[in-house]
Structure 1
Amino acid sequence: MADEKDRKSGAIQNTCIGFVLIGRNEGERLRNCVDSIVEQLLLINRDKKQGPDLSGTSDVFPIVYVDSGSTDGSVTYATSAGCTVLELDLREPFTAARARNEGLKLLINKFPQVELIQFIDGDCSLQPGWLGKATAFLAVNPKVAIVCGRRREVYPQKSIYNALCDMEWDTPVGEAKACGGDFLVRKEAILSVKGFNPAMIAGEEPEMCLRLRKRKWAIWRIHEEMTLHDADMTSFRQFWLRNARAGFAYAERWLMHSTRIRPYCKRELLSICFWGGFLPISIVLFMATMPVLGFALALAYPLMTIRIFLRRMKMRSSVRKSLIFSGLTQIGKFPQFFGVLKFTAGTLSGKSTPIIEYK
């Protein structure tokens, strides 16, 4: 037992960690992100009591910042903070997957000693202590490729949409099917699947996790604070676009990987198509011919909302949070269905779809 404890406490000192962060016009959020990483690197270096002096030059900080066309001075700041900066070629479409892949490649080329890579979005900041706990977990779980923790919203009280994001990040602890944009991964594992699919405009993380699981790697979420996220989502338009992107991603992943034996994303896609497409169309048609039946069908929405609300209450969620989650989850089916239609139209026409941004 003591040996295991010693291994855990010393894991971070014996492992080289690199960072890939991506962003575009994140402003102060990027500053918070870089500062949180540098602070932990300085602590790690102090605990090692050896190695290079992390004085703030790009030659020693194993941090790569990938910029997707910022105009707010992000590149200048990241460079001055000690990051290696990569500005994506404007002639190719921007995607988070492409940015992460190119950042990963540059990081490994410049810092070949890196064994673990922490991916983080530029609108997030790393929580104190996360690296030590995550690295210790990987040290005693060699079959785990990715470890992630709790991502929280900085301002969940700012809008109901921010509050919804905070609840969506709160996923069960234990072995998981996927991670989000923030996670710590073994270099060996991510290289074995050749990183992210750069053609995907959304949902690239769970798609990569699926390929990792096919190679017998595990994805794990631990009960530790990982990052603070600033969604800055204050309008219904942003909510609509975010959900449209989600619907697009579900449809794309279903087409890429779903089989009769392994129906990947099938359940989510059927739910989107039923609640966001089939049911509302049926209601409109029956209202014109059989109003009573049309009204009865319309009751399905409040009934499902109540069911989700009660389920959240059983999870000891507050009344406010339960109302927000149940209401917005149902409303979100409509833009998700729009995203499915957008993917379908693009697939049938053979035209690529530009990235769907909500902020």
Structure 2
Amino acid sequence: MTELGKWIAEQIRKSGPVPFAQFMEWALYHPELGYYTGERRKFGKEGDFYTSPGVNPVFAEVLADQLAEKAGLLGDEPFVLLEFGAGEGMLARDILNRWQAEHPALYARAEYRIVEISPTLRARQAELTQEHQGKVVWQTREEVTAGGAFAGAVLTNEFVDAFPVHRVVKQADGMAELYVDWDGEHFVTKTGELSTQVIGEYVDAYATAMIRGQVTEAGLAGLDWYREAVGLLRAGWIVTVDYGFDAEMLHHKSRMDGTLRGFYQHTLVDDPFAHIGEMDLTADVNFTALQQIGEQSGLETEFYGSQAKYLLQSGILQRLKDVHSADLINDPDMKRNRAIKQLIMPGGIGDHFKVLVQSRDISVL
């Protein structure tokens, strides 16, 4: 068992079973031993999973050009781009590279803010964006909130899925929550009363069609973050890229075990108690809930759909290169073309990943 696993077992032994959301919080964000706070490599070939920015800079180019077009609607005032959970910094680097090369006026008035809890990832982000020193500022979530509302955009890529989730099961007499217990040798799950009434409200709002024995997730922490994020915008956009579904599909009876899963060395892991602190834990995002939160806060939904649809509407096919190379593997234009295909192909990440774009107080000039 990992050191973090031993620590969690001791906490449960002392204080009793905990909601799965608490276990997931410890597994991902324990200050020294958590998956996202530790030094272990997470992204790319040497890590546990790939992200769209890691496929090719063309993904960031599309976002950069879309944001540049939108930024023109705000006039000449400073444009803040705030990214939560910036990974290794590839998206930040590539967006700034694109702005510097193709949108110099925006680059001159832009500030790129990053909220990142991992010291290891902050160091990697600083390394990758060093050519834009002075443009990138790292802040805590508290510092961002204290700074007040701004004009610009909030951007996330595979961020909301990493918030801890409660797990609930439909029983004959109603909903029960799944708790994590320690039996002296293994972590086990047991049912109990809902730890907060908000879970019941979530189920009533989004998961009424669950059938007996079905397990699903209630991502309350992610929804709380979204409420906070939309409140940061005085004028601008919030762009969310993540894997997930609308509420009906997310909680459909075909998903009897929910969507919780782990990723370890590019392998899908069903057991959430494996490799504790060394494995990513994640669950699909409820995009219906995010969209409703934004609209209830006065935002307008400009786009919701698959990543493939968003990229196609944004003209990604126009970025294909007409190239005939003898080196089909290493030629950069061939790599770019393959990346575009990977990002939009049916049945792949282009379908599973969704994009939600919402805006506040935008007047078209």
Shorter-chain TM-score: what band? under 0.3
**Higher relative contact order (CA closer than 8 Å, sequence separation 6+):** 2
Give the TM-score normalised by the residue count of structure 1.
0.27
Give the TM-score normalised by the residue count of structure 2.
0.26
Larger proportion of helix: 1
